[in-house]
Copies of this chain bind each other. A is one copy, B any other.
Amino acid sequence: MVSRQVRNKMEVAETIESVRAAVMAARGKGKTIGLVPTMGALHIGHISLIEAAVKKCGFVVVSIFVNPTQFGPCEDFEKYPRPFEADLDICRKAGVNLVFAPRQEQMYPGENLTWVNVEKLTEPLCGKSRPGHFRGVTTVCAKLFNIVRPDVAFFGQKDAQQAIIIKRMVADLNMPLEIDICPTIREPDGLAVSSRNQYLDKQQRQDAAYIYKSIEKCRKMVNAGKVETSELIEEMKKVLLKQPSIEIEYIGIVDPETLEAAERISGKVLVAVAVRLGPGRLIDNILIDTKK
């Protein structure tokens, strides 16, 4: 018996016009449009987003674009991994209908003068060390939403502040789409999956697991009834500072809508950590709801 593999006919579009034509055709067939915006270097975290999109939408678009406007001048834009063919394979296998992989000139044909900025929410946490980063993210997402016009766009909880900011942008500007935030995918030792994990050497990779361990420590203490955030943060620091290659950038226990620091834990909080580790910077977070 001959096994037959049904190949998914995936389209790859480089231009805005061709994306719009493909999406319009799908919409004409009554399909719901899902968008997973990525910078490529796809991993199991992205695959989980694509799977959520495939489950929910009849036509799934993955955009692959390393967006220059969200990198700072000293950040890793140039060396950010771009394994394009491998990314296409992953998309094909995951059941993606259309990959939008524009060149930079397609997304930014001239000087970009228009910026979408979300005030306040972009200032604390990652906003402090990455000025302009979130403005680049919201602007390119606004562009992608206007190009693809999806019904749903999928983002990961891993980038919690980004998710909160994008949801706020969509609400404030009445963008006609739903934002779906999918759970963080972790390695067996708890490290949140990230394209930047591949920058780590062996020691750094071992130390990196303690980012999540510090967060778990916090969760356990909260479960045991601790509510003073200063005490929780102190204990998280201890976990992280034991690891030789980790330099703490921030530990935040904040309101998950306003991102304002919480003094005591009550109801929902976001526990978020950022560290410098070797050549890069890693972040992680969890949501805790003490009322649940």
Contact = CB atoms under 8 A, between A and B. Distances in A.
A136 to B, nearest CB: 13
Interface in A103-130: 112-121
Interface stretch (A50-58, A172-180, A221-229, A232-240): A172-180
B116 A173 contact: yes
Given A147-B174, A174-B146, A115 B117 contact: yes
A138 B117 CA distance: 12
Copies in the complex: 2
Given A20-B176, A174-B146, A116 B113 contact: no
A169 B120 contact: no
Most buried by B among A113, A120, A146: A113
A172 B117 contact: no
A158 interface: no
A114 B173 contact: yes
A238 to B, nearest CB: 35
Contact of A114 (B16, B143, B172, B176): B172
A1 to B, nearest CB: 48
A139 interface: yes
A90 interface: no
Given A174-B146, A176-B146, A176-B149, A169 B114 contact: yes
A20 B169 CA distance: 19
26 contacts: A16-B174, A112-B172, A113-B119, A113-B120, A113-B121, A113-B172, A114-B117, A114-B118, A114-B138, A114-B168, A114-B169, A114-B172, A114-B173, A115-B119, A116-B116, A116-B173, A117-B117, A139-B173, A142-B173, A143-B173, A143-B174, A146-B173, A146-B174, A146-B176, A147-B176, A149-B176
Q: Shortest 5 CB-CB distances between A and B: which pairs?
A: A114-B172, A146-B174, A113-B119, A114-B169, A143-B174
Interface of A: 16, 20, 112-121, 138-139, 142-143, 146-147, 149, 168-169, 172-176
Given A114-B169, A116-B173, 4 more contacts: A114-B119, A146-B173, A146-B174, A147-B174
